Amino acid sequence: MLRRLAKDRSGNTLALLAAAILPLLGLVGSGVDMGRAYLVSARLQQACDAGVLAARKKFGTEPTVTGMIPAGTADMGQRFFNTNFRDGMYGSANRDFTMTLEGDFAISGTASADVPTSVMNVFGFDNVPVDVECEAVLNVTALDIMMVLDVTGSMRHTNFGDSSSRIDSLKQTIRGFHGQLEGAKAPGALIRYGFVPYATNVNVGSLLEDSWVADQWLYQTREDTGLRTSVAAKTIWRNWEYVSGDRTPWTLVSTYNATWVPPVGSDEEGYYRCEGAQPANTWTFTDTVESTATDVAIDPPGVETIEYTRRVQNGTRYGTSLNGSSCEIKKATDTNFVETYEKVTFVPAFEKIIYEYDQFSKDVSNWRSETTGCIEERATTQISDYSNVDFSKNLDLDIDLVPTAGDPDTQWKPRYPEIIYARSISSDGSGDFTTPKVRTDEEYAQSGTWWFSDCPAQAQKLQEMTAEEVDAYLATLQPFGATYHDIGMIWGARLISPTGIFASENGDQPGEPKSRHLIFLTDGQTEPYDLAYGAYGVDGLDQRRWDSSASLTLAETIEARFGVACSEVRKRNVTVWVIAFGTYANQAMIDCAGAGRYFEASNAAELNDAFTAIAKSVGDLRLSQ
């Protein structure tokens, strides 16, 4: 039996299986446990990436200037890590995540966890340690920033709680914004900055080629007809001095009820007036010329005659005055009341010029030496449907159209404020516009030189700028003029468009696409004056884009054209940001920027926050490992 048992091989399989079961268990178990470890590693890597990206976004660009780490940066990163890898996920234990700020302002991180084994613990391996590394960096690469800045007179004001004016706060904020972007700039990156200060007009003449500007243009001005009219003499009485005699103060004689005059129309108010009779005056005076002097005046030229006169006054004078709804009769009495005075008669030594006020043509071929650089816009029309603008007729809103030499419709025209007269508005602003020509010796308002027609500082094309160059440019910005949003947006769009008049400078290079951003800042709502001389002439006279019979007001017209220009620049893949500084963002501004890209800043701190948010958004936030 023993010999048979020794020769019997039927039980070998069981023995072999028993001998192989432990190696098989190790092989299968390691696969199962390592698969879980790889799954945990992948999810841990995602959580690590999310954490450093969130922290770097919170960190932003401002610390590159201030050196101060924003509060909550670490908490933000930890929160995103915890959200993406919860405690105990996949049965893991000892979860840990730490972040480090690197010298180049990148944020690196390490994450680790222990994955308990299900099978390998038989072999003494209770868990598998898993650890990963991650790093996030915010770099600014190929970037164009065009800043369209309101520099109207209200920028002299100081917002509540601030110690500096709006214009000075803006300058300081832009310096910090430039420092943030330069501090976050990737090696070899190209960041360019452009500026369009705007008010009633824009100063872009230095950026235009000669062929883009017309040589001849029509201006609302006046011409000397060669005719003259005499100027009447002018008499004044001055230097009254008491000599002798008595004069009583005004004393009350009697009162009576005033007459009520009811209003004629709904927009008028009623009033009281005195209609009763008063006693007749007995007051008389006698003038005696004691001496006479004649002199030749230089400025203005003429002959001035002075009569030194003595006046003797006697009798009673009566006067009636309104006091509420009562009429009061008062009297004053002179008794040999003597005064001396000077009677001065001035006879001008010239005649008044008779002018013809009309639209006259002017040779403007020497505009570069004769003007400061502001312009009149090219051909346009009064638009009735702003959702369907005909750009072949409204060339001012075609931001990419390159002018054709010799075609004034496509060309810009230089601004000549000194020759502009608002026909037929008097120098005190009274009167109404007269579109037909007028021949007169009256002096009409020279509104081209009034404050609301001011020409702002020169605009600047996109270019790289050092901190010193930014300072030098900002020093040129001075607050004057009224608020015309449309012309600012039109020229901001022209100067950043990659396909317009500066396409050779603004276009993308092969393999190097640019990120383009236009920042539009204003401290007020549209504030036009039909009397002002701006980019469309005198609106009340030239009536190129608006007239008083239009369904929209001049302000509404400007807002609508602002919206068209904004829409056109966004079509060129330009991100538009709008900042309302010390004012509110109206619907036109909100529609222009879009959700998340407009800000209302009531003071300098909030203005800085707005620019910092923009700086964060224009950068390239990415994982570097």
The more confidently predicted of residues 385 and 33 is 385
Q: Which long-range contacts does 476-479 make (Cβ < 8 Å, 24+ apart)?
A: 477/149, 477/151, 477/167, 477/171, 477/197, 478/151, 478/167, 479/151, 479/152, 479/153, 479/154, 479/155, 479/156, 479/165, 479/166, 479/167
Beta-bridge mates of residue 328: 255, 321
Distance CA 326, CA 256 (A): 6
The more confidently predicted of residues 64 and 131 is 131
Alpha helix segments (H runs only) across 243-317: none
Residue corresponding to tokens 């002199």: 295
The pLDDT score that the predictor gives to residue 617 is 84
Beta-bridge mates of residue 414: 375
Here the tokens at position 575 are 């991100």
* Residue % of the chain over a pLDDT of 70: 90
Beta-bridge mates of residue 130: 113
**Residues 102 and 93 sit within 8 Å (Cβ to Cβ):** no
Residue corresponding to tokens 């013809």: 356
Where do the structural domains in the chain lie, given as residue ranges? 14-136, 143-217+366-377+409-555+567-619, 232-349
pLDDT range class, residue 2, cuts 50, 70, 90: low
Distance CA 166, CA 607 (A): 10
Using one digit for the tens of pLDDT, what is the confidence trace for 513-539?
789 999 999 999 999 999 999 999 999
Here the tokens at position 405 are 């030499």
The pLDDT score that the predictor gives to residue 9 is 63
Distance CA 153, CA 109 (A): 51
Angle between helices 166-183 and 467-474 (to 10 degrees): 160
The pLDDT score that the predictor gives to residue 265 is 76
**Residues 481 and 523 sit within 8 Å (Cβ to Cβ):** no
Q: Which top CATH class is 143-217+366-377+409-555+567-619? A: alpha beta
Question: pTM of the prediction?
Answer: 0.70
Residue positions counted in the chain: 625
Which residues, in sequence order, are CB contacts of 119 under 8 Å at separation 6+?
25, 28, 29, 30, 32, 33
Using one digit for the tens of pLDDT, what is the confidence trace for 265-324?
777 889 999 999 999 999 999 999 999 999 888 777 889 999 999 999 999 999 999 999
Distance CA 364, CA 159 (A): 42
When computed from its CA atoms, the radius of gyration of the chain, rounded to whole angstroms, is: 41
Distance CA 487, CA 587 (A): 18
Q: What is the DSSP letter of 88?
A: T
Average pLDDT for residues 77-86, to the nearest whole number?
90
Distance CA 492, CA 439 (A): 41
DSSP, residue by residue, 553-605: -HHHHHHHHHHHHHHHHHHTTEEEEEEEESS---HHHHHHH-TTSEEEESSHH
Average pLDDT for residues 375-390, to the nearest whole number?
97
Using one digit for the tens of pLDDT, what is the confidence trace for 161-195?
999 999 999 999 999 999 988 887 877 789 999 99
Here the tokens at position 471 are 């300072």
CB atoms within 10 A of CB 421: 23
* Residue % of the chain over a pLDDT of 90: 70
The pLDDT score that the predictor gives to residue 184 is 79
Using one digit for the tens of pLDDT, what is the confidence trace for 229-260?
888 889 999 999 999 999 999 999 999 999 99
Q: Which residues of 495-506 are buried (b: 16+ CB within 10 A; e: fewer)?
A: bbbbebbbeeeb
Beta-bridge mates of residue 148: 196, 520
pLDDT range class, residue 25, cuts 50, 70, 90: very low
The pLDDT score that the predictor gives to residue 482 is 97
Strands 326-348 and 127-139: unpaired
The pLDDT score that the predictor gives to residue 16 is 47
